[in-house]
């Protein structure tokens, strides 16, 4: 985060779900889940400037609403309400993370907004305070306050930060269309796929380890992780391109492949930069409608 007297800049990273197990539908319509989330080096960029009153958002993306439907605006209002202040702000948002993609871009923008304005306005809220203020804005907001790597449960509000001991490069592939997260979860409820994998032994093991180690010190290696996403089969049956993108990544040498969150974005995991970049470079001209990035898993959160 960079600050001058007049403005403050912050980068909001994308996330991928390295593991996502949907446990059950809750009475409030959300789903309880277990997920391992990892920030990656694909960023939206935000700049905040003090203003006498009101919230003005200017976005680089014509598709993005800049009114109360936008999570940056809602995060600002939530913070103003919690602090009981009347400050105003002008926000510039450069959108690089695709929307409705399963990469958490909206939640990341909201978390970055809470952290940046807490600092700009010298409000003194702790991370725990910000997580409580932000948790109703989007299920991934708490994670983005405790990244770069964390195990989350509940609907996403219970976060155990982890340390990932090994770096990986990821080639991220988005097919160029958005999917409603709500719709994907609704499809899952109707087929009940979540229950089938809830006894995953790797998951039982990781939970046991989290219980016996101190929060924040829980260490993981990529080789320990079982890539899995309960929402993937729902998306693959409706959108064959999801499987096609994964097959392309496999044929380019990815050591693992998975859909992120509710999709439709998928990623391939590579050990070395020297393997990830050529894979991305080769796929781009073959699939001009797909958006493709080679990025690193983050060791430090920019939020
Ligand atoms: O919280 P967020 O806005 O990301 O959620 C979008 C939709 O995804 C919710 O309205 C809900 O239908 C679904 N969802 C869910 N369980 C979660 C997270 C999201 O059912 N843990």
For a ligand 1 pocket test, name from 35, 152, 185, 234 the mutation site with the most ligand atoms within 8 angstroms of its C-beta.
185
Q: Are the C-beta atoms of residues 291 and 98 closer than 8 Å to each other?
A: yes
Distance from CA of residue 246 to its chain's centroid?
A: 19
Residue nearest (by alpha carbon) to ligand 1 atom 2: 138
Alpha carbons 80 and 121: distance in angstroms, whole number: 10
Q: What is the pLDDT of residue 196?
A: 47
Centre of ligand 1 from the C-alpha of residue 138, in Å: 8
Reply yes or no on whether the pLDDT at 191 is more than 50: no
Task: Count CA atoms within 13 Å of residue 298 on its CB side.
Answer: 23
Centre of ligand 1 from the C-alpha of residue 261, in Å: 11
Active-site residue identified among 44, 95, 109, 140 = 140
Q: What is the pLDDT of residue 273?
A: 95
Reply yes or no on whether the pLDDT at 195 is more than 60: no
Q: Are the C-beta atoms of residues 268 and 250 closer than 8 Å to each other?
A: yes
Pocket lining for ligand 1, CB < 6 angstroms: 29-31, 33, 138-139, 155-156, 181-182, 185
Q: What is the pLDDT of residue 62?
A: 81
Q: In terms of DSSP bridges, do strands 88-94 and 55-59 run parallel, antiparallel, or are they unpaired?
A: parallel
The residue that leads in pLDDT, 50 or 220, is 50
Centre of ligand 1 from the C-alpha of residue 181, in Å: 6
Task: Establish whether 67 is a catalytic residue.
Answer: no
Please provide the average confidence, as pLDDT, over all residues in the chain.
91
Centre of ligand 1 from the C-alpha of residue 262, in Å: 9
Q: Are the C-beta atoms of residues 93 and 44 closer than 8 Å to each other?
A: yes
pLDDT digits (tens, 9 = 90+) for 152-177: 999 999 999 988 888 899 999 999 99
Instruction: Identify the band that residue 44 occupies on the pLDDT scale cut at 50, 70 and 90.
Output: very high
Q: What is the pLDDT of residue 92?
A: 97
Burial class, 255, CB count within 10 angstroms (exposed 0-12 / middle 13-18 / buried 19+): middle
**Out of 20-29, 33-42, 183-192, least confident range:** 183-192
Overall average pLDDT of the 20-49 stretch: 94
Task: Establish whether 15 is a catalytic residue.
Answer: yes
Share of the chain above pLDDT 90, in %: 78
Active-site residue identified among 11, 15, 95, 246 = 15
pLDDT digits (tens, 9 = 90+) for 251-277: 999 999 999 999 999 999 999 999 999
Overall average pLDDT of the 41-49 stretch: 98
Overall average pLDDT of the 98-122 stretch: 97
pTM of the model: 0.94
Q: Are the C-beta atoms of residues 51 and 90 closer than 8 Å to each other?
A: yes
């Amino acid at each position: 985060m960079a600050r001058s007297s007049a403005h403050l800049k912050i980068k909001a990273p994308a996330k991928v779900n390295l593991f996502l197990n949907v446990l059950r539908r809750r009475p409030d319509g959300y789903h309880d889940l277990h997920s391992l989330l990892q920030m990656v080096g694909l960023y939206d960029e935000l700049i905040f400037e003090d203003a006498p009153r009101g919230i003005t958002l200017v976005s680089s993306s014509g598709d993005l609403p800049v009114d109360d439907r936008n999570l940056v605006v809602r995060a600002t209002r939530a913070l103003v309400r919690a602090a009981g202040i009347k400050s105003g702000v002008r926000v510039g948002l450069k959108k690089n993370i695709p929307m409705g993609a399963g990469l958490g871009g909206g939640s990341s923008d909201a978390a970055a907004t809470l952290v940046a304005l807490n600092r700009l306005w010298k409000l003194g809220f702790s991370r725990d305070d910000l997580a409580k203020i932000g948790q109703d804005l989007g299920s991934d907001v708490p994670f983005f306050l405790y990244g770069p790597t964390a195990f989350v449960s509940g609907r996403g509000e219970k976060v155990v930060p982890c340390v990932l001991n090994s770096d990986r490069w990821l080639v991220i592939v988005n097919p160029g269309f958005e999917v409603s997260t709500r719709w994907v979860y609704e499809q899952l409820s109707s087929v009940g796929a979540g229950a089938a994998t809830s006894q995953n032994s790797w998951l039982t093991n990781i939970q046991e380890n989290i219980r016996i180690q101190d929060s924040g010190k829980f260490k993981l290696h990529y080789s320990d992780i079982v890539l899995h996403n309960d929402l993937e089969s729902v998306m693959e049956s409706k959108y064959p391109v999801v499987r096609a993108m994964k097959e392309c990544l496999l044929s380019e040498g990815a050591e693992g492949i998975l859909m992120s969150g509710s999709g439709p974005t998928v990623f391939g995991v590579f050990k070395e930069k020297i393997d990830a970049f050529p894979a991305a470079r080769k796929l781009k001209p073959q699939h001009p409608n797909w958006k493709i990035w080679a990025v690193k898993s983050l060791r430090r959160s920019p939020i």
